[in-house]
Amino acid sequence: MKPHERLDSLHRTLSRASWIVPASRREAWLAEWVAELSYVYTQHPASATDLAQGIVHDAATMQRLYLADRYRAIDWQAPRLCVGLLGCCFTLLLAVTMAQSQLRHLVFSRWGYGAFACFVVLALFSLPSTVVTSRYGAYEAYSGDAATMVQRWARWRFLAAKLVFSVLSCYLLAVHVTRPFQHLLGAQADWLLMACGLIFNVVAVSWVFTDQLQRCPTCMRSLRGSARMGPPSWGLLDSSATEEMCDRGHGLLHQPEWQTSWFENARWLQLDSTWRDLFRP
């Protein structure tokens, strides 16, 4: 291989591989490889070609390590992530719906508006029963007045965002699930849609309230570090419960194993600010 062809080949390999490297580290990575290749090329040109075979692998490793760092940096307890995932789920279902012309016309037709209205009514009807079954209404952490108005408003916004995205996603999912049966059932498929709507709404709304209970009432982050307290099944003479904590040090959720007359609901133990130093920021 002639010298200029060898240099062109090295340049192309380096240029293509650099696109694999994350943009934030690309410049430093390129500078390092150019320095390495230049030094080896001046000593022994053929060795530079051998060294260049590792460029793509090195770039792929850089990208893999970068993605692993990003994954580890995800704050899985954050309420923003929960709303973001629900929003992505709804956006994906909407994009799939819009991509199919038949479904698009169906959803935005008079039938679609009527079906959506029925779906929302079913969701509203499922609210009282799911509040009771999830014991959200009896949860003492949300009934106290220790929280500030801003924290209460944040809870309601978070709850409302989850409900809206969940119900909208369930509606589109129900349309997708029942659509193949419309050819077989005709107008009867509307009842199938309503049945799916009822089931999907109950499941989704129950999850929304259960998830809300598993979060810190102060910062809305998911509780973690579940720990058993007391011997199992000793509900009469001793405390048998599970405790979870907020990783920002706002408090502990104490959930009894059995519902008793003296310990009926989960209790939230609010910690004062002196505990915050023990928890990670």
5 vs 145, beta carbon nearer Zn ion: 145
Element (H, E) at 18: helix 3-18
Quote the least distance from Cβ 77 to Zn ion, whole Å: 9
33 vs 158, beta carbon nearer Zn ion: 158
With CA atoms as reference, report the closest residue to 18 among 4, 37, 31.
31
Binding status of residue 196 toward Zn ion by CB under 5 A: no
Taken in order 269, 272, 274, 279, the sign of the CA dihedral is: positive
Report CA dihedral (233, 235, 237, 239) to the nearest 10 degrees: 100
Integer Cα distance of 92 and 88 in angstroms: 6
155 vs 162, beta carbon nearer Zn ion: 155
Quote the least distance from Cβ 251 to Zn ion, whole Å: 7
Quote the least distance from Cβ 60 to Zn ion, whole Å: 39
155 vs 250, beta carbon nearer Zn ion: 250
- Which residue of this chain has its Cβ atom nearest to Zn ion in the complex? 216
Strands 251-256 and 241-245 turn out to be antiparallel
Quote the least distance from Cβ 234 to Zn ion, whole Å: 29
203 vs 271, beta carbon nearer Zn ion: 271
Considering only 20-28, 78-86, 125-133, 210-218, which stretch makes contact with Zn ion by CB under 5 A?
210-218
Quote the least distance from Cβ 140 to Zn ion, whole Å: 16
| β-pair partners for 68 | none
- CB-based contact 142:155 (threshold 8 Å): yes
Residues in contact with Zn ion, counted by CB under 5 A, come to a total of 6
- CB-based contact 1:9 (threshold 8 Å): yes
63 vs 242, beta carbon nearer Zn ion: 242
197 vs 251, beta carbon nearer Zn ion: 251
- Number of neighbouring beta carbons within 10 Å of residue 58: 15
Quote the least distance from Cβ 114 to Zn ion, whole Å: 43
- CB-based contact 258:264 (threshold 8 Å): no
Strand stretches in 202-276, DSSP E: 224-229, 241-245, 251-256, 267-270
Quote the least distance from Cβ 207 to Zn ion, whole Å: 21
Q: What angle do CA 178, 183, 189 make, to 5 degrees?
A: 45
Restricting to residues 101-130, which ones interact with Zn ion according to CB under 5 A?
none
Restricting to residues 211-270, which ones interact with Zn ion according to CB under 5 A?
216, 218-219, 246, 248, 250
Residues lying near Zn ion in the complex (CB under 5 A) are found at 216, 218-219, 246, 248, 250
